Chain A
Amino acid sequence: MEANNNDALVIGGVSLTSRLFTGTGKYGSDTIIPDVCASSGSQVITVALRRVDTNAATGNVMQHIPKHMQLLPNTSGARNADEAVRIARLARAAGCGDWIKIEVISDNKYLLPDGYETAKATEILAKEGFTVLPYVNADLYIARDLVNAGAAAVMPLGAPIGSNRGLKTKEMVRILIDEISLPIIVDAGIGAPSQACEAMEMGAAACLVNTAIAASGDPVAMGRAFGEAVRAGRAAYLAQTAAVSTGTADASSPLTGFLGGM
C-alpha cells in the first residue's frame, strides 16, 4: 500500500494511513477476516458484544483479528444511552481499548440511530476518556451536539444499515463535511467501491464498510477494491477536482482552426 505520511487520519491520537474501516459481521467464515484486512489495507475494524449462549458453541471473532488492527467495538443492541454506556465500559474492561462506536437503535425496521440518546452516551463516555465515534443520521444539529459532547469523529449513515444502497444522504453528508470540524466518516449503506470513492472525493475523512465486503462474492477481492476506491477518492479530493461546467461544453483542445479551417 502506498502510504502518504503527510495525509494521515489522526483519531484519538492514533495515526491511520488507511481511510477504510471494516467490520467483522456477516462473513461466511470468520477465518477470512485476516485476508480481508490484508487486501483492503484497513487498520480499523469493528466488533460487537453479545450475551454468551452457554448452550451453543460460538466462535470467538477476536482470534481472527490481526494484532495490528485498531479495534472499534460498537454498542449495537443498545436501545438507549444507558445501555450504550454499559456496553462501552464492558468492551473496555475486556481489553478492547478506548475506542467505541456508539450505536443506539430502538427502531428495528429501518435501524435508524437515535441522535438524542447517542449524544447523551457520547458525552458520558468522552468524559470517561473514551475515543467516541458516534453513528448518526446525517444531520447538522446532531453533529454539532456531538462536537460539544466530545466526539472524536462523526459517522453519518449513507443509507440504512446493510442496505448497500449507497450514498443516499450525499447532500446532508456534504453539509457535515463543510460545517463540522471533526472527521466525517461515512458509515452504513455503502454498497460498492464507487460509492465509497464518491464519499471520499467529497471530503469524507474515511468510510466504514462491512456488509458490502463481507456479503460479496469474494470478500478478499472486494476488500482490495474498496481499499483502492477509498485511496482514489481521497487522492482526488486532495487534488481538488476541476470545476463543473453547466450548460455548454468547454473544449479541452484548442478551438483554433486546423488544416485550413476544417
Chain B
Amino acid sequence: MQLTVNGQMQLCNDDTTLLEYLQGNGVDVKAVVVELNRTVVTADDFGTTVLNDGDVLEILQFVGGG
C-alpha cells in the first residue's frame, strides 16, 4: 500500500502498525510526535494503530529554535 510520509510517497506492507513502520525506518519512537490524517497519535497508541492505504503521516521531532 501507499502512504504519504512527510510529504513523500512511500510504499508499505499491508497490516503494518505505526510502531512497526517507525521502527522499520529507523525512527526513534521516543523522540517523535506523529500526526495521522491530521489527527495526533499519542505514543501509547503507536503499537495499536494499523496503517491503511492512502494514509497521510507527519513524523516530527523537536529541534533547536527561538
CA distance A186 to B5 in the complex (A): 37
Judge whether A108 is part of the interface by a CB distance below 8 angstroms: no
Query: Among A50, A54, A208, which residue has the most Cβ atoms of chain B within 10 A?
Result: A54
Is there contact, CB below 8 Å, between A90 and B60? yes
Q: In the complex, what residues of B have CB within 8 A of residue A23's CB?
A: 64-66
Interface residues in A, total, Cβ within 8 A: 34
Minimal Cβ-Cβ distance residue in A for B58? A51
How close is A256's CB to chain B, nearest CB, in angstroms?
A: 56
Judge whether B35 is part of the interface by a CB distance below 8 angstroms: yes
Q: In the complex, what residues of B have CB within 8 A of residue A86's CB?
A: 35, 38
Judge whether A97 is part of the interface by a CB distance below 8 angstroms: no
Residues of B18-33 at the interface with A, using a CB-CB cut-off of 8 Å, are 25-28, 31-33
Size bracket, chain B contacts: 20 to 34
Query: Among B26, B31, B41, B42, which residue has the most Cβ atoms of chain A within 10 A?
Result: B31
CA distance A61 to B37 in the complex (A): 26
CA distance A25 to B42 in the complex (A): 26
Is there contact, CB below 8 Å, between A26 and B27? no
CA distance A64 to B12 in the complex (A): 34
Q: In the complex, what residues of B have CB within 8 A of residue A188's CB?
A: 66
Q: In the complex, what residues of B have CB within 8 A of residue A161's CB?
A: 66
Q: Mark B50-66, 1 if CB is under 8 A from A, else 0.
A: 00000000111111111
Partner pick for A93 among B6, B42, B59, B62, CB 8 A cutoff: B42
Known contacts A51-B60, A60-B61: A93-B66 contact under CB 8 Å: no
Known contacts A51-B6, A52-B6, A91-B33: A27-B64 contact under CB 8 Å: yes
Partner pick for B63 among A58, A93, A94, A162, CB 8 A cutoff: A58
Is there contact, CB below 8 Å, between A74 and B65? yes
Q: In the complex, what residues of B have CB within 8 A of residue A54's CB?
A: 25-27
How close is B17's CB to chain A, nearest CB, in angstroms?
A: 17
Is there contact, CB below 8 Å, between B40 and A51? no
CA distance A161 to B65 in the complex (A): 11
Is there contact, CB below 8 Å, between B33 and A61? no
Q: Mark A1-30, 1 if CB is under 8 A from B, else 0.
A: 000000000000000000000011111001
- The chain B residues found within 8 Å of chain A, CB to CB, are 6-7, 25-28, 31-33, 35, 38, 40-42, 58-66
Identify 10 residue pairs between A and B in the complex whose beta-carbon atoms are under 8 Å apart, listed by A's number: A26-B64, A49-B62, A49-B63, A50-B60, A50-B63, A51-B60, A76-B65, A90-B33, A188-B66, A211-B66
